[in-house]
Chains A and B, each alone.
Chain A
């Protein structure tokens, strides 16, 4: 545990990718395979589910540190990270453990905590804390709350493994698929499989449920009013499709079994029984890439409904009927056990089309091609995205092969998204950024009016929080204004006299019972500071509600 905690501290403190890579390689060389197996899992983004409720963890740490609640909170405010706060506040360890490795710690101390009643958790937590130093407590705290994150990309981890194994990073990337699934319990054998020499690859592709590494799209950023043709050439070298707002997934059918993998490489077969059912119809050795969506009345439903579906633990018949899922297929990666990824996009598309038609499954649809003779025509179609419930267009090079991750060498996929929604909103609360004492207000809460301008007693209703989109200079100016217009302070938050108007952008909107405004928006950010407009001209709740997709409005 100590070695891994130190590796974490080292990666956390460093900025250069090469330094981080070297640190990981050093760790892997020195670690026991069982420990390395878990280390790779965590570094590559694997996370066990939350093991201990945050409230209990926080309360027990506070008691162990002998602090009143308010002082624990003040400390947390200054640090900005719960696991770090706890690590710093606990009294020094009484029985430091230098002997056990990461695997022992995860399997013997941490994972068994899940689901224990509070009276059993408490003594175990105290025991864990007694054995760990500050670094160890930080890492453990993050694992316990399911918030472990580390500043390395999966690619860096893959490269480190490739260096240790002496095989190509691409090969390692393929072996890594599925490695970080949420309930995985990586073992020494799994680690050995990752770093096995190329020749003795024990991997049997015909029996394995492994998907291929996903090929990812790049955002297409075009200057306003510009002609896409300047960057992309003629439309006939591209296949255009809608950009669906769902869950990217690969459906794998081999050896009479069927697996469904999300882009996060989580196995989600069981969550979508209606998709699993089509396994019967598919021939062995088939891998389809596509998007899972809720499909009803012959059209795609808003992402919010898919989210509701994912959020439910019990998939009742009623739920499956109300929120039926479908796979919109857009690529065929394997056919009769042959890897098609080196074939051009257009070829794969043709084969996909005949496959989907041949098996005619109610839950498998082709993601249709969007036909446009010119960029102007495509742009016009793209502008209808919102009505169609999609996020814009995907442009796939006809000749492109199916690459790995964000590579560009095999050809390119562009996502040509529509402009975000936008409303004019008033800043009403400001919160200090985390992790510093010298306070700068960087997190803002925005509101719209509850009634139209002619109503005599209208009020501002908060609906979104945003903390990005301004320049450094603007942040500084805004900070000064906030300090001057503060009405009240609530801990790190200040309410201000409403004086500032902003154009706020967001990607999606859904009804919400949790929020006073009755709506929740996705990815809100500040598009522009409207110093030219008085706050009376801010938008109203009515304008906001009008943006709700029609399917969601009645609910």
Chain B
């Protein structure tokens, strides 16, 4: 057992865990603060500004400095203290520091140290570097709290460059055919990442208001983005035929889209990896672009922390926990959290399950009735729990 050298009294929690799950969120007992709480608390440390991780109503907030203006633009007037990446602050005997998570601008992993024990909470992260945020840095720790949004081996991403080339080609084809290209993606992070890689020589780039607000914040933070316009600022409507339009998924089916009468649409999300979700989205194209780690990325990141204990918070928690226990020989478990729910504007791109089912029932699935098919039999439940 390691010696606790902290001058502060031992915490009451006998497990001596630096982070535990509480109904309000992830809680640090010795520090008496929360990480990304989903209910209002006295003190909250935030990993990033996506709405399922950053919520209003808490007393004091602490976050990484590069994310400050995004947090303010999303949460409004809050009592926010910030810290540059890598700098340490002490609170109730716990050393706190923020380290780049590579997810969106200002996203951070939170490192906690007390008595020689180090815990890191990842928030959301992706491991492939891209130009609109500081790249993910593995932080050595004893216990790593990780997300697992895409925690199945079916999720493997292609490189950022390949994806952008694909999107630019789609835009060029549409522009040549004289129709607008409407690209749906999440307004915070994904939109700016795509924007940065778009080829402005193809045509004008129009952004939905929700995207434009965040573009401004990114630009003010020194991220170079190509010129963008709101559709209301376009005087010569004929140029819309060559335009690329970035809009949040919520704009789909709204009157706002009627301004682009002839257009092809696409959706950029990690969920587009599966044909089923792609088809259910009902768009012309699905681009597999994610701001989360893919399966190899998760395994690489976990391994790079050197952690012996891993706690999985959200996404595909079960397969990742089992893999880590059985195949990597780690001590892994999961926390029940409220991250990644439907309101998560980060990347819960899956349409609601009900709509899925309805789409299937509406006849998208294979035709079952040929002239006289074999008798479908009743199902017996699978023999064992998986």
Contact = CB atoms under 8 A, between A and B. Distances in A.
Interface of A: 12-15, 65, 67-68, 70-71, 73-75, 78-81, 84-85, 88-89, 149, 245-248, 262-264, 303-304, 306-307, 429, 431, 433-440, 442-443, 445-446, 462-465, 467-468, 472, 475-476, 479, 488-493, 495, 508, 510, 512, 514-517, 520-524
B370 A439 contact: no
B382 interface: yes
A523 B371 CA distance: 12
Interface in B262-308: 273-280, 282, 284-286
A307 B327 CA distance: 47
B9 to A, nearest CB: 43
For the complex of A and B, 3 pairs with smallest distance between CB atoms? A435-B276, A440-B353, A438-B353
A80 B276 contact: yes
Contacts of A467: 361
Given A465-B379, A472-B354, A472-B358, A65 B274 contact: no
11 contacts: A13-B278, A78-B152, A89-B153, A435-B274, A435-B275, A435-B356, A436-B356, A438-B350, A472-B357, A475-B357, A520-B378
A514 B357 contact: no
Contact of A436 (B152, B326, B350, B385): B350
B327 A68 contact: yes
Contacts of B275: 12-13, 81, 84, 435
Contacts of A463: 378
B385 A79 contact: no
B384 interface: yes
A88 B154 contact: yes
A67 B319 CA distance: 12
B354 A475 contact: yes
Contacts of A306: 372
Nearest to A91: B156
B377 A437 contact: no
B232 interface: no
A356 B327 CA distance: 72
B357 A512 contact: no
A70 B285 CA distance: 32
Contacts of A523: 368-369, 376
A537 B317 CA distance: 42
B378 A78 contact: no
B147 to A, nearest CB: 14
A248 B350 CA distance: 43
A73 B322 CA distance: 13
B372 A74 contact: no
B381 A429 contact: yes
A510 B375 contact: yes
A489 B380 CA distance: 13
Q: Which of B285, B375, B379 counts the most chain A CB atoms within 10 A?
A: B375
Contacts of B316: 78, 437
A416 to B, nearest CB: 17
A213 to B, nearest CB: 15
B17 interface: no
A512 B375 CA distance: 10
Given A13-B279, A13-B284, A79-B276, A520 B360 contact: no
B297 to A, nearest CB: 15
Residue of B316, B352, B354, B381 ringed by the most chain A CB atoms within 10 A: B381
Contacts of A15: 279, 282
B378 A462 contact: yes
B2 interface: no
Interface residues of B, number: 51
A479 B355 CA distance: 13
A310 B37 CA distance: 63
Contacts of B356: 433, 435-436, 438, 440
A512 B377 CA distance: 9
B323 interface: yes
Most buried by A among B152, B280, B285, B370: B152
Nearest to A15: B282
Contacts of A493: 379, 381-382
B374 interface: yes
Given A79-B274, A81-B275, A523-B369, 18 more contacts: A13-B286, A14-B284, A15-B282, A68-B326, A74-B318, A78-B316, A89-B153, A247-B371, A307-B374, A431-B379, A433-B357, A435-B275, A438-B353, A438-B356, A440-B356, A445-B378, A445-B379, A492-B382
A438 B149 CA distance: 12
Contacts of A440: 353-354, 356-357
Contact of A491 (B274, B280, B285, B385): B385
Given A437-B316, A445-B378, A490-B384, A264 B370 contact: yes
A442 B323 CA distance: 29
A247 B369 CA distance: 14
A490 B382 contact: yes
A439 B316 CA distance: 12
Nearest to B276: A435
B271 to A, nearest CB: 9
A264 B371 contact: yes
Contacts of A248: 371
B378 A515 contact: yes
Interface centre among B286, B350, B358 (most CB of A within 10 A): B358
Contact of A75 (B152, B322, B357): B152
Contact of B154 (A79, A247, A263, A304): A79
B300 to A, nearest CB: 15
Contacts of B377: 465, 512, 514-515, 520
A383 B326 CA distance: 62
A437 B317 CA distance: 12
A248 B318 CA distance: 50
A184 B364 CA distance: 29
A104 B375 CA distance: 36
B258 interface: no
Contacts of A88: 153-154, 156, 273
Interface in B121-172: 152-154, 156
Given A438-B352, A440-B353, A440-B354, A462 B379 contact: yes
A423 to B, nearest CB: 13
Contacts of B369: 523
Contacts of A13: 275, 278-279, 284-286
Contacts of A517: 378
A236 to B, nearest CB: 30
A74 B152 contact: yes
Contacts of A67: 153
Interface string B208-252: 000000000000000000000000000000000000000000000
A494 to B, nearest CB: 9
B378 A74 contact: no
A463 B120 CA distance: 52
B366 interface: yes
A215 B379 CA distance: 36
A75 B153 contact: yes
B274 to A, nearest CB: 6
A68 B386 CA distance: 12
Contact of A85 (B154, B372, B376, B386): B154
Most buried by B among A68, A85, A246, A438: A438
Contact of B322 (A70, A79, A246, A436): A70
Given A263-B371, A437-B316, A71 B376 contact: no
B156 to A, nearest CB: 7
Given A79-B154, A440-B357, A490-B384, A307 B372 contact: yes
A491 B384 CA distance: 8
A13 B287 CA distance: 12
A468 B361 contact: yes
Contacts of A73: 386
